[in-house]
Amino acid sequence: MTVEIGLPYPYDFDRALARLAGNPVHAVDLDERLVRVPMDEGNLVSVQGTGTFGEPSFRISGLLDEKQLARVRWIFHFDEPLDGIAAHFADTDLAPIFAEHAGTPLVRSFSLYGELVKSIIHQQLNLSFANVLLMRFMELYGMQQDGVWRFPAPEQAARLTVAELRELQFSTRKAEYVIGLSQAVAEGRLDLESMRTKTDDEVTAELTALRGIGPWTAQGFLMFGLGRPNLFPTADIGLQNALKALWDLDRKPTQAEIRERFPDWSPYLSYAALYLWRSIETPAG
């Protein structure tokens, strides 16, 4: 099943793809303007940009049914207008960032479990090495289907040993965190799908009860996994460096200094964070 859809608001699909392409797990083709998404039912769905920033349209192919279309619309933020968000920041210190990145959507993760695994691997490590670790993990324990990666089932990862992950150059702690998370999901102690209907605070409380998931990882899950609009990980080094540059400081801002800006930025903290990250990820803008 293939459908063509258009959106009634500006949407920067190319910048969305550029961000997805920063994660080597994703199957993105920037020239063809498409990304292929592994679905839980086993098929692959291709989402291709066919329009422009001002008149966005898409060709979505490989769908099995309407339910899958609804999931794709949810993942890509197709039913949540973005055009009021940049205006909210017009009179703030983030106006230049929003002038550049307005219309870039907060595309949700293709796998909630995978989002947490990726986040744990990325804790404290530079992006390039973290991605090396992630791909070593995927090549040994993930599944590749027509060039598209799927994370291993939590039940499979739950049976890994710390020694096996140490061989991939995971730290002992990272190995324990990933295995422990997988066991919690596999044993039903953590129901990730149920998080979709819970409040930010409820999700944070459940996730941070697990060893290895702190505020930064929980906030990332809410932002990128669930697409929640009002999270800002103040502990994030990248965001601290982005604000240091934006504010022209000679040191990174403290978390308290960042939180002082929350009243002006709310209720769109997630977009502030997303665009600040983008502002330092792509030197050309």
Partner DNA sequence: TGCCAGGAATTGC
Partner DNA sequence: GCAATTCATGGC
- Report the SS3 class of residue 4: strand
Q: What is the C-alpha to C-alpha distance for residues 62 and 37, in angstroms, rounded to an integer?
A: 10
- Out of 5, 44, 69, 125, the only residue in the binding site for DNA (CB under 7 A) is 125
Within 177-236, which residues bind DNA (CB under 7 A)? 208, 210-218, 220, 224, 235-236
CB of 20 to DNA, least distance (A): 10
Within 15-54, which residues bind DNA (CB under 7 A)? 22
Annotated catalytic, 93?
no
Contact stretch for DNA (CB under 7 A) within 9-17, 27-35, 117-125, 190-198 = 117-125
Of the listed 29, 200, 236, 264, which one is catalytic? 236
Query: 60 near 45, Cβ under 8 Å?
Result: yes
CB of 35 to DNA, least distance (A): 16
**Letter for the amino acid at 283?**
P
Q: Closer to DNA at the Cβ: 64 or 237?
A: 237
Distances in Å between the Cα of 162 and the Cα atoms of 43, 121, 155, 180 are 32, 14, 15, 10
**Letter for the amino acid at 267?**
P
Alpha helices in 91-153 (DSSP H): 95-101, 112-122, 127-141
Packed helices 172-186 and 112-122: angle between N→C axes, nearest 10 degrees? 170
Within 72-91, which residues bind DNA (CB under 7 A)? none
Site residues for DNA per CB under 7 A: 22, 122-129, 132, 166, 169, 171-173, 208, 210-218, 220, 224, 235-238, 241, 277, 281
Could you list the active site residues?
236
